[in-house]
Structure 1
Amino acid sequence: MRDPAQPCNKRDPGSGCAAVRGFNRLHAIFGQTDEGPKSPFTCIAVHPSDMAVAMAALDAAIVIESGRGARRIAFDDLHRLPGNDPSRDTNLAPDDLIVAIELPAFHGRSHYLKVRDRASYAYGLVSSAITVEMDGDQIARARIALGGIAHKPWRLPAAEAMLAGERPSEDLFRRAAAAGLEGARTYPMNGYKPELARVLVARGLAETTGLEPLQGAAGTAFAASVGGIAGVREVA
């Protein structure tokens, strides 16, 4: 998408997708459309935002106004997968205007964790936003959203379901992360992403629940760990 000399259905609808058989190290492992490099529907691009991933984990709602009146939608319904129109990032109509973002009351702990090639001027290879609400020593509710793996912020409902009612443990977090990443579809250059995502989810859950020290400034909505890495090798 960044190279204007290469075909890209998102940038130039109908031109095809160079990444699907080319340089795809940064691309999607969930929710992509792959009908071959010449198809007008193929798109394996990822959503690069950090804020949107955090909003997904907080179950935000979007208030929209247009000539047809006002409406309120769940944040998960704002962004879309490529489907049959990779050029569209959201489900907004041309005359829609976002006038408010609503966040439900939250009394738990949260954490944002991101890994990228360098510590600045680089999108996250994978990022994770995690919220946890406790009931005594048990997890009442956990919400997990990932960035850098799909065309939209990607929730992990299977992992969230496994955590509810359980006591925090490293084994539980590893199993939940593995369940959440089942079904990933990788490409020759991004086979590292499922394992990297599993590590981020397990570590983020451990830090959010207190099994490991939470990185970042206290009192922020999302304490954050953001770092750069020299390189990533694929883990078998």
Structure 2
Amino acid sequence: GKRSIRFGDFHKLPENTPQLDNNLAHSELITGIDLPARGFKDHYSYLKLRDRSSYSFALVSVASAFDIEDGLIKEARIALGGVAHKPWRIREAEEFLLNKTPERKHFETAAQILLHGAVGFEHNLFKIDLAKRAVVRNCLMALKPDTQRPGAKPSL
């Protein structure tokens, strides 16, 4: 048979089954991914921070995308990777940005909201501050995605 799973429901937290990363049933197979026709074609970015270039796993990664009209953010998406068992989004952080100008001070507040209540352990406490700074940097990068192409000069 066929079934669809919303992306937000695909990954799961460990709870009582830490050996399971997702909500696929035994023997289920992903055969396709449907993306919405409306995208964030003008303002988007992905940033992956690693311990060393030889490691592929991110200490922290951030994906951000914005729809901006008349100088104001009309829609926002920010997701963190490498900080939780599943991609980390907090809708309140995205909602905070609505109808605000896309600037550092607003991205800093959104990062605070996104990581409010985050708890680290002795060996990874640094990730909370790293994630906040990565969110701000990535949101600024999303304002000019052309600067992220190979050979482009950053304009942050």
TM-score by length of structure 2 reads: 0.88
Q: Name the structure 2 match of 1:89.
A: 21
Query: C-alpha offsets along residues 73-99 of structure 1, whole Å, 9 cap, x if unaligned?
Result: 211111100000100111111121211
Where does 1:28-47 land on structure 2 (aligned, <5 Å)? none
Q: Name the structure 2 match of 1:72.
A: 4
Where does 1:1-236 land on structure 2 (aligned, <5 Å)? 69-105=1-37, 106=39, 107-210=41-144, 214-217=147-150
Report the RMSD for the aligned CA atoms in angstroms: 2.0
Q: Which runs of 5+ in 2 are unaligned?
A: none
Alpha-carbon distance in structure 2 between the residues aligned to 1:109 and 1:138: 12
Report which of the two has the higher share of helix.
2
**Does the CA-based 8 Å contact 1:207-1:213 persist in structure 2?**
no
Change (3 A) 1:214 1:159: farther
Alpha-carbon distance in structure 1 between the residues aligned to 2:147 and 2:115: 23
Q: Which runs of 5+ in 1 are unaligned?
A: 1-68, 219-224, 226-236
The one-letter code sitting in structure 2 at the alignment partner of 1:84 is: N
Alpha-carbon distance in structure 2 between the residues aligned to 1:193 and 1:101: 31
Shift in Å at residue 213 of structure 1?
Answer: 7.6
Query: C-alpha offsets along residues 188-215 of structure 1, whole Å, 9 cap, x if unaligned?
Result: 11111111011111111111124x9832
Query: C-alpha offsets along residues 164-188 of structure 1, whole Å, 9 cap, x if unaligned?
Result: 1111111111111111100101101
Shift in Å at residue 122 of structure 1?
Answer: 3.5
Alpha-carbon distance in structure 2 between the residues aligned to 1:156 and 1:113: 18
- The percentage of aligned residue pairs carrying the same residue is 42
Q: Name the structure 2 match of 1:46.
A: none
- The DSSP-based 3-state class of the residue aligned with 1:132 is strand
Larger radius of gyration: 1
Change (3 A) 1:213 1:93: closer
- The DSSP-based 3-state class of the residue aligned with 2:11 is coil
TM-score by length of structure 1 reads: 0.60
Aligned residues: 150
